[in-house]
């Protein structure tokens, strides 16, 4: 009986330790996603770089990351996502909800906004086929 009690205590302690580590991991991942979303929002708000001579470097360094986001994060539309989409289209009352449930659609929306602000010039030429694929997929979903 004493050994069973010791085993149960050990298992309980082990479970609590694993649960604590999982909670820390979830908080860490949520923080990283929030930081990534804030970084995208900062790029979106300071998109003036596309009108400077650094635009080709901007494309070389970030286009593939944006392409990865658009091809790996599935597109879905929630009620908050619909409000954000209408806000981008020009309606008033923009929603700034960054809950975990809506984080993916927020990330996709920021990347699409950045794509929409990119000027079409010779620097964009190497990325045209990828951009076409992304635009077609975004239009179809």
**66 and 47 in contact (C-beta within 8 Å)?**
no
pTM value?
A: 0.63
Along the 141 residues of the chain, how does pLDDT read in single tens digits? Answer: 445 566 667 667 767 777 776 777 777 777 888 888 888 888 888 888 778 888 888 888 889 888 888 888 877 655 554 544 444 444 444 444 445 547 888 888 888 888 888 888 888 899 989 888 888 887 786
């Amino acid at each position: 009986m004493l050994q069973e009690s010791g085993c149960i205590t050990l298992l309980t302690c082990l479970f609590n330790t694993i649960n604590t580590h999982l909670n820390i991991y979830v908080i860490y991942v949520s923080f990283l996603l929030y930081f990534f979303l804030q970084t995208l929002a900062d790029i979106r708000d300071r998109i003036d770089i596309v009108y400077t001579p650094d635009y080709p470097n901007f494309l070389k360094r970030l286009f593939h990351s944006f392409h990865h986001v658009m091809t790996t994060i599935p597109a879905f539309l929630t009620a908050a996502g619909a409000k954000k989409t209408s806000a981008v289209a020009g309606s008033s009352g923009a929603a700034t909800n960054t809950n975990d449930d809506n984080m993916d659609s927020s990330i996709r929306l920021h990347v699409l906004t950045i794509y929409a602000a990119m000027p079409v010039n010779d620097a964009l030429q190497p990325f045209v086929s990828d951009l076409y694929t992304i635009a077609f997929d975004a239009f179809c979903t």
